Amino acid sequence: MTVCRTSADKDNDDTIEECLVRLGRGDREAAEPLYTLAAPSVYGYALSILKNRHDAEDVLHDCFIAVMSAAGSYNGQGKPLAWMLTVARNLALDRLRKGSRCAEMPEEGYDAVDPGMSLEDRVTVNACLTELSDEEREIVLLHAVSGFRHREIAAFLDLPLPTVLSKYRRALNKLRRML
């Protein structure tokens, strides 16, 4: 069973960066391919923080508005998706601080897994993801769904690499036991 897809490979990074450069020059046509490539990762990441579909959708929307507005200031160093996820993370944390809806995740869980999976597999994986701690889920989604390396996740979350590796391994062991 394929659990998730990788969306942050080199080709996607190049395409996302190209879209950001085009947006920075005022080419609004670049918004659609950027959204197609980055939205699943941004939404999944926001959902892992907020645990609320509506809030995650709002953050996705706000993130793309912010990215389109700031595309001209993107400096092209590092992964472009990491820059977008930083924007999404800041928006999600702001939303939590402001006391937005904090309803529990509905039973159907996360939509961060591969939409090509069978419904039964998606339900199973989503149920398992909800059993992970917030930090474990965040690390798993960043690595398995968004395709970031552990070293990049450690830098992004400001955690030591051994901590990220240990939490990832612990999360995978939990998932294996549940599956």
DSSP-assigned states of every residue in 87-139: HHHHHHHHHHHTT---PPPPTT----S-TTS-HHHHHHHHHHHHTS-HHHHHH
- In this prediction, residue 162 carries a pLDDT of 93
Indicate which CATH number applies to the domain containing 129: 1.10.1740.10
- In this prediction, residue 112 carries a pLDDT of 54
- In this prediction, residue 116 carries a pLDDT of 65
Is residue 5, in this structure, part of any structural domain at all?
no
pLDDT at 166 over 90: yes
CA distance 13 to 81: 7
Is residue 152, in this structure, part of any structural domain at all?
yes
| 35 vs 156, more confident | 35
Q: Which of 6-20, 30-44, 106-120 has the lowest mean pLDDT?
A: 106-120
| 5 vs 38, more confident | 38
- In this prediction, residue 138 carries a pLDDT of 87
Is residue 103, in this structure, part of any structural domain at all?
yes
- In this prediction, residue 92 carries a pLDDT of 93
- In this prediction, residue 143 carries a pLDDT of 87
- 162: Cβ contacts below 8 Å, ≥ 6 apart: none
Is residue 3, in this structure, part of any structural domain at all?
no
Is residue 1, in this structure, part of any structural domain at all?
no
What digits encode the pLDDT tens for the residues 108-154? 444 555 666 677 777 787 788 888 888 898 898 888 877 888 988 88
User: Helices 80-97 and 10-24, interaxial angle, to 10°?
Assistant: 70
What digits encode the pLDDT tens for the residues 68-104? 999 888 887 778 998 999 999 999 999 988 874 444 4
CA distance 20 to 130: 33
Q: How many domains does the chain have?
A: 1
What digits encode the pLDDT tens for the residues 46-67? 988 888 889 999 999 999 999 9
On average, the pLDDT of the chain sits at 82
- In this prediction, residue 101 carries a pLDDT of 46
Is residue 4, in this structure, part of any structural domain at all?
no
Is residue 96, in this structure, part of any structural domain at all?
yes
Range of the domain at 165: 10-178
Is residue 51, in this structure, part of any structural domain at all?
yes
- In this prediction, residue 2 carries a pLDDT of 37
